Amino acid sequence: MRKSPCLMAVLMAALVVAVGFGAYRWWQGPQVQGYLVAQGPLVQTVVATGRVVPVSRAQLGSEIAGVVLQVLVREGDTVAPGEPLLRLDAGEIAAQVRQAEAALAELETSTRPQAELALARAETELAQARREAARRRALARESMVPREALEQAEQALTLARNALQTARLRLQALAPGNARERQLREQLAALRARLEKTVLRARVGGTVLTRDVEPGDLVQPGHVLFTLALGGGTEIRVPLDERNLARLALHQPATVIADAYPAQPFPARLAFIAPGIDPQRGTVEVRLAVDPAPDFLRQDMTVSVNIETGRREQALVVPNDALDEEQIGRARVWLLREGRVRRRVVTLGLRGLAMSEVLAGLRAGDRVLADGAAALAEGARVRFSERAPPAGGEDERASRNELPVSFN
């Protein structure tokens, strides 16, 4: 059966249109994806991994040797200044304190009063000896007593004077504030201080990080028994690649996420930048201040930090996957002009995780090609297909576990 001339004409026309459309598409070049350059907000950040540490720690130990009788705190307990942490066996020292107290009490209630009585008795005996000596002198002048009796009276008077002097000296030695009393009081104070040291107390408030002692242990001075994280602040220590140093400044804000609590981010600020670089790792240590610290934060907890090092409310931005041959402050893009690919060198400003600021080389509305355009030749014709830029100018490509941390 022969085809009608009309049908043949339709088929030939369709073939010509198809060949023409294919030739036009071939002339236009392959279809590539890219972005429209536009104005938008941009945040420059440095992402890294750090650890939670207290601002300062205190290590506590016993000042005296002894056997531990009781441990009063556990790891994780919060203690106040002066709160007891452990008790040592204080039986021997307590007995020495009681002995010193008894000696001081005996001095005050017995020895000193006896000395006062002895002085009064010596004064009475001296007065009596004086009267007897005077009487015998009068009798001796009248030859009514032998000379030997007068000599005995004079000797008794001399002994009475000596006894009185001795009693006075003894009472002076036992007077309040005398050397003996000071010695006893100093000895008692030293023993009481030693007794007080049998109870180890927290000198500052904080949280017990480590407890390295148990009841029955024999402790010695100089051994660390407890480590306290002092209250008043928490820090996050982060090693950053030294290439980020020029972007860092004190008081920059940061967002912190604990690996154990990813749904509860909290703010921090850059409080310290180390003056030196770790030569082996090529990193600089920074510290972030956290105040107030969340209740769930724990010592040595692993956290991710996102330090904001720059912000533009309106900037000419381009996605990072449109940048090629990146250098410090410069990069190359593939720009689409009149359907042809043109290479263009641009000057960069702030760098975000997904977007970068363009300071020179592009303008709003320009079309730049996405990754893979480098395989095209200069001047090649392509068909442009717009790709949506990363949402919010950020992405999640940075790894928290890589060191050194790279700036994306």
Does one domain contain both 290 and 338? yes
In a domain? residue 403: no
CATH number, position 292 = 2.40.30.170
Rounded to whole angstroms, the Cα distance separating 90 from 84 reads 15
Average pLDDT score over residue span 281-285: 92
| Residue 276 main-chain phi, psi, to 5 deg | -125, 170
- Cβ neighbours for 14, distance < 8 A, ≥ 6 positions apart: none
Does one domain contain both 74 and 220? yes
Average per-residue pLDDT for the chain? 81
Does one domain contain both 255 and 382? yes
Tokens 């969340």, residue located: 294
Query: Distance from CA of residue 269 to its chain's centroid?
Result: 14
In a domain? residue 255: yes
pLDDT band, very low/low/confident/very high, at 207 (cuts 50, 70, 90): confident
Q: The tokens of 382 are what?
A: 């392509």
Does one domain contain both 82 and 223? yes
User: Residues 65-112: pLDDT tens digits?
Assistant: 999 999 999 988 889 999 999 999 988 889 988 888 888 777 666 667
Does one domain contain both 38 and 82? no
Give the range of the structural domain holding residue 82, as residue numbers without chain letter. Answer: 59-89+199-229
Instruction: Identify which has the larger pLDDT, 95 or 123.
Output: 95
In a domain? residue 380: yes
Domain count, the chain: 3
- Cβ neighbours for 372, distance < 8 A, ≥ 6 positions apart: 32
Average pLDDT score over residue span 252-269: 93
Q: Which of helix, strand or coil describes residue 155?
A: helix
User: Residues 286-315: pLDDT tens digits?
Assistant: 999 988 888 888 878 999 999 998 888 888
In a domain? residue 18: no
pLDDT band, very low/low/confident/very high, at 133 (cuts 50, 70, 90): confident
In a domain? residue 131: yes
Q: Answer whether residue 375 shows pLDDT above 70.
A: no
Q: Which amino acid is at 39?
A: Q
Does one domain contain both 216 and 99? no
Instruction: For residue 343, list its beta bridge partners.
Output: 334
User: Residues 330-356: pLDDT tens digits?
Assistant: 898 888 888 788 888 999 988 877 888
User: What whole-number percentage of the chain has pLDDT above 70?
Assistant: 83
Rounded to whole angstroms, the Cα distance separating 91 from 163 reads 44
pLDDT of residue 394: 42
In a domain? residue 217: yes
Rounded to whole angstroms, the Cα distance separating 177 from 168 reads 16
